[in-house]
Amino acid sequence: MIYLGIALFLTSTIASPVYNAYNNAVSSDDYMGYRLPGTQIPSNYKLNIIVGKDVIENKKNTFDGMVEITFKVKKVGDEKLDYIKLHTPSEKTSKVKLKNDKAEVKIIAHEFNETSSIMTINLDSELDPKMTYVLSMSYTGNVDSKSMYGLYRSSFKNDKNETDYLLTTQFEPVYARWAFPCFDEPKFKATFDISITHPKGYSVLSNTLPVGDPKKIGDDQLKTTFQTTPKISTYLIAFIVSHFTCTKGENIDTNVIHQVCSREESSANRLLAANWGKQILNAFEDYTGVLYNQTGLLKMHQVAIPDFGAGAMENWGLVTYRERLVLYDEKESSDLDKQSIISVIAHEFTHQWFGDLVTCNWWNDIFLNEGFAAYFQYIILTQMHQASPWQLEKQMIVDQLQPVLVDDAASSSKALTAIAATPDEVNAKFNTIAYNKGASIIRMMENIIGSENFKKGVTKYLQNKQFSNAVPSDLLSAMEEQATKANLPKDTSLTKVMQNWLNEPGYPVVTVTQKSIGISVKQNRFLYDKINPSSESTWMIPISYTASSDKKKFDTAPKAWLTSSSTYINNVFNTETEWVIVNNKQGAFYRVQYCDSLWRSIADQLLHDHTEIDVLNRAQIIDDLFNFARADYQMKYSKAFRYLNYLGNETDYFPWVSALHSLNFLLTRVGDHTTLGVSLKLKVVELIGTVYSTLSFEKDDSGWPLHSFKRNLIFNAACKYGAEDCIKNVTTLFETYKTTGK
């Protein structure tokens, strides 16, 4: 899933508050009260959802369903297994029956916990681990349109200005239980045989292809039955009942059917997703070595939903999106819209492997799903020639890594693997730590062991855990096999290197001090509210660096390691007058503070010829300096601005993204109309002048999206900070638009 904040960040808008579906929060001290015991292991669901026209058209808010769950039993300790625990939509169940291989099992009673949504079914005899059981239930569920979770109703105005309705689903993370009784935890994978009974005139989509034609039920209903799914977690099940039409994209090279579906009125806007979807799936097959059709899925539907709470959702074989994140209007949409759509598709298609085929065992480790998706939404596209003009591997640094360095510098920040027990805590795991930090840590691991080794490790991980669940040690074990030639600390495994990065909150700041022709490096945790030199957090930090005399520049592989509070690295310089950049291309997840003499040397080089320093390191220097000043960590804003006077010569996009992130924050803090605010705006107008002068207000027909992004960034900033020429041009354009509509 691409959560709302990330999805809207991609389109430069502001996130709305996320609906809290659980109002009776219980603390995580009651961890086991929310978790199923793991004594029943499902293998198959036979599910029939029944919806009438009155349900779809907002005249009735409940639906009926029937489910048969086949499961076996696992004995845990000496506990007596005379019960079944599972999640259900409500206590409104009937015809609850249990049978084993030989006979029906008598049910004494069942009780429902509304807070945890867990039903306990008490039996008059103990379950036998040698037997296979089938639990059948009829039930009533609610159609929830307010939260847009579970099975919910959406609507839109069609081309006749009539309200058209549809039913759709959003089950991640804990809402499959709102639609059908199930073992609603990601580790309980099973196959599904799904049937939807629905009114005539509506089409139905689900994770797999339908089996034959719909079966007539009475005069007005049809029953559409779908092929058996692969083993799948409950939150990845999906179905849609609608009047949507679909556009066929090119079939995937492995004969996978590919279609993009939406309301009929938007059919012309499906082509971008149809064309890029095939290419992105093919790129993943090439990269992972795992073919999409190996999963047993023979189709991919991308569907635009008018009302959708998340940004997009990776339901296996049936990916759902907000309309603006999959539909592209050639006349009205911007270059940024185009990139956002393609990146979101790449994110969700990553999940077909990372999340769907291999799924985190529990939500503590959601970064195994979302970190990979947030990483590959940039990196898989760099494998595709047609996406090269976007320079997405660089965009990732300023769009993902640097913003999460801000979020993760709060003392309240939690580790990637922090425990989540309650539904509220599980929902809270879908944040920038899981997505952006997860992606950044995965990127750092790739830089440590090398791209080819990383790629082999990815394939091994997917092969080892396909149709199953994973924990971080499974990923590290697969990577470990490929890391034998990596430059790791002596007698240290990759697993040991990664432990604190995964299991501790926050990240380090590495302080670099020149000592003759070497450097002393030390680490502390970086925090805005305090810097604690005695912090117990110590990371194993890969140190890549480039001195001004280096011939091989800005390689992200580590040359040295900082495994304790401090160390000395010798022979960094040929002379004592050189500069050095640590953390090449910001390849690892930390900030770098330099001693005054090194800051002066770096600033001198930037003023003399800033292109001698890699563009990502220029962006890093800007981001670090301003954030050190923000934290009052061995840096004042006055000094940071002196070191960054070179910005008056900077014309590249990425450093200006970093600069304006921090400058906009600073302006918000000091205020537009204060003495400091006025001085700040004058300074920014001065610094931005050169890059502003290289751009034109005429329509950009260059075909280079980064040029378009830079124009938007710089023009917005120039006008925001009060550049007279910018305000004059924008005013003229607006007056022309009012007169001509163009």
**Is residue 34, in this structure, part of any structural domain at all?**
no
Element (H, E) at 362: none
Mean pLDDT is lowest, of 11-15, 521-525, 640-644, for 11-15
What's the pLDDT at 547?
A: 94
Number of Cβ atoms within 10 Å of the Cβ of 191: 17
Which residue do the tokens 């990371």 mark? 539
Number of Cβ atoms within 10 Å of the Cβ of 337: 19
What's the pLDDT at 538?
A: 93
Write down the pTM of the prediction.
Answer: 0.94
Q: How does residue 27 score in pLDDT terms, banded at 50, 70 and 90?
A: very low
Q: Are residues 338 and 439 in the same domain?
A: yes
**Is residue 184, in this structure, part of any structural domain at all?**
no
DSSP 647: G
Residue 243 is labelled as binding a ligand: no
- Among 614, 638, 662, the domain boundary falls at 638
Instruction: Look up the CATH number of the domain holding residue 554.
Output: 2.60.40.1910
Which tokens hold the place of 299?
A: 């189709």
Residue 347 is labelled as binding a ligand: yes
Q: Are residues 446 and 307 in the same domain?
A: yes
| b/e burial code for range 657-675 (CB count within 10 A of at least 16 → b) | bbbbbbbeebbeebeeeee
**Is residue 660, in this structure, part of any structural domain at all?**
no
Q: How does residue 186 score in pLDDT terms, banded at 50, 70 and 90?
A: very high
Work out the mean pLDDT of the chain and round it to a whole number.
92
Q: Is the pLDDT of residue 188 over 70?
A: yes
What's the pLDDT at 3?
A: 61
What's the pLDDT at 736?
A: 87
**Is residue 90, in this structure, part of any structural domain at all?**
no
| 314 has catalytic annotation | no
**Is residue 263, in this structure, part of any structural domain at all?**
yes
Residue 162 is labelled as binding a ligand: no
Q: Are residues 518 and 632 in the same domain?
A: yes
What's the pLDDT at 6?
A: 58
Q: How much is the average pLDDT of 147-169?
A: 93
For residue 536, give its domain range.
508-638
Torsion sign across C-alpha atoms 453, 459, 464, 469 = positive
**Is residue 301, in this structure, part of any structural domain at all?**
yes
DSSP 435: I
Q: Are residues 320 and 456 in the same domain?
A: yes
Q: Are residues 458 and 533 in the same domain?
A: no
Q: Interior CA angle at 663 toward 659 and 666, to 5°?
A: 150
Q: How much is the average pLDDT of 119-139?
A: 95
The partner residues of 73 in beta bridges, in order of sequence, read 40
What's the pLDDT at 701?
A: 66
**Is residue 320, in this structure, part of any structural domain at all?**
yes
What's the pLDDT at 704?
A: 85
Q: Are residues 415 and 296 in the same domain?
A: yes
Q: How does residue 93 score in pLDDT terms, banded at 50, 70 and 90?
A: confident
Number of Cβ atoms within 10 Å of the Cβ of 104: 10
Instruction: Look up the CATH number of the domain holding residue 345.
Output: 1.10.390.10
pLDDT in tens, 240-250: 999 999 999 87
C-beta of residue 128 within 8 angstroms of C-beta of residue 103: no
Q: Are residues 550 and 462 in the same domain?
A: no
Helix axes 438-449, 494-503, angle to 10 degrees: 160
- Among 599, 620, 638, the domain boundary falls at 638
pLDDT in tens, 558-604: 999 999 999 999 989 888 778 999 999 999 999 999 999 999 999 99
Q: Is the pLDDT of residue 145 over 90?
A: no
Q: Is the pLDDT of residue 9 over 60?
A: no
Q: Are residues 299 and 434 in the same domain?
A: yes
Q: Are residues 478 and 559 in the same domain?
A: no
Q: Are residues 371 and 423 in the same domain?
A: yes
Q: Which of 407, 231, 205, 218 is nearest to 319 (CA)?
A: 205
Give me the DSSP letters along 369-432. HHHHHHHHHHHHHHTSGGGGGG-HHHHHIIIIIHHHHHHTTSTT---TT----SHHHHHHTSSH
What's the pLDDT at 32?
A: 63
Mean pLDDT is lowest, of 331-335, 494-498, 701-705, for 701-705
What's the pLDDT at 5?
A: 60
What span, in angstroms and rounded, lies between the C-alpha atoms of 62 and 44?
Answer: 25
What's the pLDDT at 92?
A: 76
Which tokens hold the place of 377?
A: 């939404």
**Is residue 585, in this structure, part of any structural domain at all?**
yes
Amino acid identity, position 672: D
The partner residues of 447 in beta bridges, in order of sequence, read none
Q: Are residues 461 and 515 in the same domain?
A: no
Total count of domains within the chain: 2
Amino acid identity, position 307: D
Which one is catalytic: 172, 185, 285, 348?
A: 348
Q: How much is the average pLDDT of 537-556?
A: 91
| b/e burial code for range 249-276 (CB count within 10 A of at least 16 → b) | beebeeebebbbbbbeebbebbebbbbb
- Chain-centroid distance, C-alpha 474: 20
pLDDT in tens, 345-387: 999 999 999 999 999 999 999 999 999 999 999 999 998 988 8
The partner residues of 2 in beta bridges, in order of sequence, read 312
- Among 453, 486, 519, the domain boundary falls at 486
Q: Is the pLDDT of residue 689 over 80?
A: yes
Which tokens hold the place of 113?
A: 């916990």
| b/e burial code for range 579-590 (CB count within 10 A of at least 16 → b) | bbbbbbbbbbbb
Element (H, E) at 623: helix 615-631
What span, in angstroms and rounded, lies between the C-alpha atoms of 661 and 656?
Answer: 8
Q: Are residues 249 and 390 in the same domain?
A: yes
